[in-house]
Amino acid sequence: MDIIDHESNEKTYTNYMKYEHGITKTGWIIFVFLILEDVLVRLFVVKQPSDLSNIIFQGLLLSIYIILSIFKVSHAKNTSTNQKRKIFDLIKVFEIITIVTLISTMYHGVFFHFVALLPITFISLTKGFRKAIPYILLSFAFQMVANLVASTLLQGNMENNINGVPFVIISIVQYLLFVLFCYIWSGIYNEYVRSEEENNILIDRLGDKYVQLEQAKKEIQSHYDKLIKSSNQLEETNSRLTASLAEFYTLQQISQAITSIFDMNELLKFVNDVIIGVMGVSHSTIALCYGPQNKLKVQVSSIFDKKDLAIVSDFINCDILKPSTEGGHSMIDNAVTEEDYPFTRGRNIKAMICVPLLAKGKTLGIVLIEHSFKDAFDDENMRLLEVISQQVSIAIENARLYQQMHDLATLDGLTGAYNRLYFNDKLQEEFKNAQAKGHDLSFIIFDIDHFKKFNDTYGHLFGDLVLKTLSSYIMKTLRKEDIYARYGGEEFVILMPYTTLEQAKEKAEDLRMGVSQLNITDRVVSASVTISVGVSTYPETAGRAQELISTADDALYEAKHAGRNLVRVAKPRN
């Protein structure tokens, strides 16, 4: 509590010195009016002759008071706190003496002595009631002395003033009332100051709490920011995980396709659909390399318009795609123009990615995806397409290997026709279809006339050339659904679904005539051959699959027996 009192006095003293200059000026005005009142009272009320010496003396005292006040204020601004207090106490003593002396020279001075006590009031406020008591006693004692001196020296001028016992009584009453006032004032003010200080302490504590709350708020904000950052990281991780899962699913689908789809076109169509779904693009095109110059040829595309697809096919080998086709590098461009990319003409393409299909360091083709918006792709899109393309390359390589194995298993190595084993399987399959659906199934068998003698004359190499030339011609004349096979040696067969006996006979005759007109040469030897042909048809001449072969073979034997280079038809069933 003593600390509170000390701090409150310090603060009060500081506040008092802050307004001391204004208080001092107010005192100047009061004393000027008191001197003026004294002069007027003497001239007009008590009718005393004007005493110039008294007025001069009062003016001198007022000047001393003003000088002391100015000195007090100026030194209070330029000295330390302890020095301020010492100077303040000393000057305050002289002020009190000067004021008491000045009021004692006035006609009604006894009634104005309370003015001299006003500075002491501020002492009681700044230093407390106990500190003000010496100043009060000093003022009272000096007032008694000053009044005695004034009444002696200025007796003629103060004859109607109150002197003697009445003066002492009035002064004592005034001072007692003033002491009581200072005591009450000091107590009230001290309580006010104490309350204010306690409020300040409370405010300080609240300020500390506020600072703590601000720190807690900052910590909470920091934790919140960390949570937001962690949430963003989790969201980013989740996005990457989702993308990885989508990528994994895509690759899984492609891997399944690799192991289950062996037809090249069917496989590429499936992969192209997957790319469109995963990448969300406007168009996707897969082009493969063919020929000795490795030229690109569109294999599958999502472009359905024939005119647009023709433009793509015409310009797919443009120079701007050579980094992919020749260098094996991926390309991305988010500001595509028709001038730079001629294969995009008329399709409003603004962005594209081109990724090569690589296998064993060789470019198999490209995957080209396109979008109608600028800046549609980023490096992550290109990376994903590269991963997909790696799988596609494996799929293409596997499909080609499968095709090669299939060809080895089903095709005759010399002529390119199907072999006998594959043909027998297809015969059973097509015969069951003919029975189930009730359509005709024709069978043609032929062999080369006098082929052994031909071989003996020109050699086996030329004989092989005859077989290859003959097969090449036959395969060009057949339909897609017809099945052509080498049945043994120089003997060949053709299975023709949905073909009547008469149609098969006409086809056999056309083949016989066409073969007879072939000129077979190896640039040294030139020759021509003829064939004998037998024809049979289900259900007209055969009721079972094996009967197709046997009845057609009988017709072939008949053609040979009749002179060769002929077509003969099996006899109808009974």
Query: Rounded to a whole number, what is the distance in angstroms from the first to the last CA of the chain?
Result: 140
**Predicted pLDDT at 166:** 67
Query: Which of 462, 508, 466 is closest to 490 using CA atoms?
Result: 466
Lowest mean pLDDT among 386-400, 461-475, 495-509: 386-400
Taking the C-alpha atoms of residue 422 and residue 445, their distance in angstroms, rounded to an integer, is: 16
State residue 207's pLDDT score. Answer: 81
pLDDT in tens, 106-157: 766 666 666 766 667 666 666 667 777 777 777 777 767 766 666 665 544 4
Q: Which residue has the higher pLDDT, 22 or 8?
A: 22
Lowest mean pLDDT among 19-28, 416-425, 554-563: 19-28
pLDDT digits (tens, 9 = 90+) for 183-194: 776 776 677 677
Judged against a pLDDT cut of 70, whether residue 81 lies above it is answered with: no
More confident residue, 486 or 144: 486
Beta strands in 33-100 (DSSP E): none
Question: Highest-confidence range of 186-190, 220-224, 491-495, by mean pLDDT?
Answer: 491-495
Q: Which of 55-64, 252-261, 480-489 has the highest mean pLDDT?
A: 480-489
Between 83-97, 160-174, 208-222, the lowest mean confidence (pLDDT) is in 160-174
Q: What value does the mean pLDDT take over residues 356-385?
A: 87
Provide, rounded to the nearest whole percent, the portion of the chain with pLDDT above 70: 78
The answer, yes or no, to whether residue 27 has pLDDT greater than 80, is no
Q: What is the mean pLDDT of the chain?
A: 80
pLDDT at position 247: 65
Checking if the pLDDT of 470 tops 90, the result is yes
Q: Among 182, 93, 180, 99, which residue's Cα sits nearest to residue 143?
A: 99
Q: Is 361 exposed, middle or buried (0-12, 13-18, 19+ CB in 10 A)?
A: exposed
Q: Is the pLDDT of residue 391 over 50?
A: yes
Instruction: Enter the DSSP assignment of 524.
Output: S
pLDDT score at 454: 82
Residue 563 pLDDT more than 80? yes
pLDDT of amino acid 241: 63
- Among 65-69, 363-367, 522-526, the range scoring the smallest mean pLDDT is 65-69
C-alpha span between 92 and 123 (Å, rounded): 9
Phi-psi region of 234 (alpha: psi -120 to 50; beta: other; left: phi over 0): alpha
109 in Cβ contact with 103 (< 8 Å): yes
pLDDT recorded at residue 1:
43
Percent of the chain scoring above 90 in pLDDT = 26
Q: Compare 458 and 549 and report the one with higher pLDDT.
A: 549
Token pair recorded at residue 408: 């080895």
List residues with catalytic annotation.
490
pLDDT at 301 over 50: yes
Across 407-411, 430-434, 478-482, least confident range: 407-411
- State mean pLDDT over 8-31: 61
Average of per-residue pLDDT across 528-551 = 94
pLDDT for 3 equals 45
Asked if 537 and 499 count as a contact pair (C-beta separation under 8 A), the reply is yes
- 65: nearest Cα among 41, 32, 42, 38: 32
Q: Which of 15, 16, 12, 13 is nearest to 192 (CA)?
A: 12
pLDDT range class, residue 560, cuts 50, 70, 90: very high
pLDDT for residue 89 is more than 60: yes
What was the pLDDT predicted at 272?
84
Tokens 């031909």 belong to 454
Query: What pLDDT score was predicted for residue 231?
Result: 81
Q: Look at residue 203 in the predicted model and tell me its pLDDT.
A: 83
Burial of 133 (0-12, 13-18, 19+ CB in 10 A): middle
Cα–Cα distances in angstroms (integers) from residue 556 to residues 217, 449, 486, 553, in the given order: 104, 11, 16, 5
Q: With contact defined as beta carbons under 8 Å apart, do 363 and 294 qualify?
A: yes
Can you name the residues that pair with 486 across neighbouring β-strands?
492
pLDDT of residue 436: 93
What are the backbone dihedrals phi and psi of residue 287, each rounded to the nearest 5 degrees, phi first?
-120, 140
Q: What DSSP state is assigned to residue 164?
A: S
> Alpha-carbon distance 501 to 354, whole Å?
54
- Cα angle: 259, vertex 262, 267; to 5 degrees: 90
Q: 225-246 pLDDT, tens per residue?
A: 888 888 888 887 776 666 666 6
The confidence band for 159, taking pLDDT boundaries of 50, 70 and 90, is very low
Q: Compute the average pLDDT of residues 428-455.
A: 92
